[in-house]
Amino acid sequence: MALTGFPSAPPADVPQNWVELFLLAGQEQEACVQFGAMTHRGTLRALVSEQRARLAAAGLAPGGTLALRLPPSLAYVVNLLAGWQQGAQVMLLDYRLTEHEVRAALLRLEPQVLVRADRYPSGGLRGFAEVEPVVEPQPGGRPARTGHAVVQLSSGSTGPSKVIARTAADLLRELDCYRRLPDFPGPGERVVLLASMVHVLGLVGGLLNSLHARVPLTVPERMTAAGILAAVAAAPEPTTVIGVPFHAELLAGVQSPPPLTQLRRMVVAGELVHPEVPGAFTRRYRVPLGTMYGMTEVGVIATDLTGRHHPSVEPVHGMRLREADGELHIRTAGSPYLGLTDPTRWSDGWLHTRDAGRLDPANGRATVLGRRDSQVSIGGLKVDLTEVEQTLAALPVVREAVVVFTEGTIEAFLATEPGAGPEAVHDLVAGQLAGYKRPRSLSFLPALPRTATGKLLRDPAGLRAAAAAAVH
């Protein structure tokens, strides 16, 4: 079964000055990005030009490689755009990586120049930081071996990160997809961004699209419910909040939010949304919770920005469903993976998402059912781990749940309300899941570990380590 969404032909030739044409154009005093104080376009252009000169003085030439390890900040935006303006391939490292992880990434990616922060914020709830960038040439760094503009590491929620690369044409193609979405923020509106700008939703759907669409972007001072709502209330323009499902759950839990007449909608992506969250969010704020399905490899794939079709989404890329196993495939011109020739991930012009799904022949909408590896066999009986996880997460004593399958056993890792132990969970789930679907192991944590993008960690070894640490 095949399906085609919006046309996705890239620009025939991406001009060398694509950053100036597509991201930095605009009036001098036009509001642009806000990290505490608002930065206007003229100021941003000047800062980018100055930093480009500093990067060139450090040895970064066109065709070179630049790694960024900066927290959310004006410095991050400036260095990203300056690297591209210089014609470099920019590699994005999450500032929350450990020093060990950073060293491993640098050995793997071999950048010629690293830009790091002079200090890193210690508070996990800070939305942004005021830092000075430190430019460090890297001995033994190598120039770009491909024509890609950006290199990202996948979130690593289910295991080791993949090295994913996209060209400037890929990014412009995705920005054109956003332009064609009638419910995505446009001129006269603003965006409050909660998602990480190192990863694809925050990077392209948030930062780059806001620059391209001339929509002012604000990052809250604090990533608490109160901090997010204050950022929405700070300006009168129609406002869209962009984040991950965790943020929607956080806001839906606010008992008496202030009136927010400027809030237009919230849009989330990154993982499946628990079934009860869209309704709870809309009842609380009287606006839709839109959802997007995407991947680091290709960006946005399908959307339901109106919230009317949840859990179905409208494709914006060519999409097909492999009949043999129900896996969704996305049309791409080439493999997005650097150094990877695995045909189970990309072959014959199709990216293998490893997500199970359905395509409705009547209206063309897709329903993402979760990872294909969530379909397991217990004693010859098929069990959908997504169903088990959502059933556990919906229990009144459970705040968060992750379910994994290893060595023939279903394991559940839970964050519960105070005083709720195994007996309470077993009693509640007994009436909702058949015996063969119930987890054989329950682990309780104060909060479940998450990746740098806010996704729940799904790597069994990492989950067990977190559970063991919670016991001691």
Question: Which among 334, 366, 398 is the end of a domain?
Answer: 366
- Whether 240 is covered by a domain: the verdict is yes
pLDDT per residue as tens digits for the range 373-426: 777 877 667 788 888 888 898 888 888 899 998 888 899 999 988 877 778 888
The CATH number linked to 25 is 3.40.50.12780
pLDDT per residue as tens digits for the range 225-264: 999 999 999 999 999 999 999 899 999 999 999 999 999 9
- Say yes or no: 361 and 323 in one domain: yes
Which pLDDT value is given to residue 234? 97
The CATH number linked to 453 is 3.30.300.30
Average pLDDT over residues 322-340: 85
> What span, in angstroms and rounded, lies between the C-alpha atoms of 23 and 208?
7
Structural domain boundaries, residue 458? 379-471
pLDDT per residue as tens digits for the range 140-183: 999 999 999 999 987 554 445 689 999 999 999 999 999 999 99
- Whether 371 is covered by a domain: the verdict is no
> What span, in angstroms and rounded, lies between the C-alpha atoms of 231 and 220?
5
pLDDT per residue as tens digits for the range 59-86: 999 999 999 999 999 999 999 999 999 9
- Say yes or no: 421 and 298 in one domain: no
- Say yes or no: 87 and 10 in one domain: yes
Question: Which among 366, 388, 423 is the end of a domain?
Answer: 366
Which spans in 62-208 are helix H?
74-85, 99-109, 168-179, 200
pLDDT per residue as tens digits for the range 201-235: 999 999 999 999 999 999 999 999 999 999 999 99
Question: Is the pLDDT reported for residue 113 higher than 90?
Answer: yes
Global pTM value:
0.83
- Say yes or no: 383 and 361 in one domain: no
Which pLDDT value is given to residue 235? 97
- Whether 328 is covered by a domain: the verdict is yes
Which pLDDT value is given to residue 380? 66
Closest alpha carbon to 55 in 80, 21, 33: 80
Whole-angstrom distance between the N-terminal and C-terminal Cα of the chain? 51
Number of separate domains in the chain:
2
| Average model confidence (pLDDT) across the chain | 89
Closest alpha carbon to 169 in 390, 14, 328, 345: 14
- Say yes or no: 357 and 383 in one domain: no
Confidence at 7, pLDDT banded by 50, 70, 90:
very low
Question: Which among 298, 332, 366 is the end of a domain?
Answer: 366
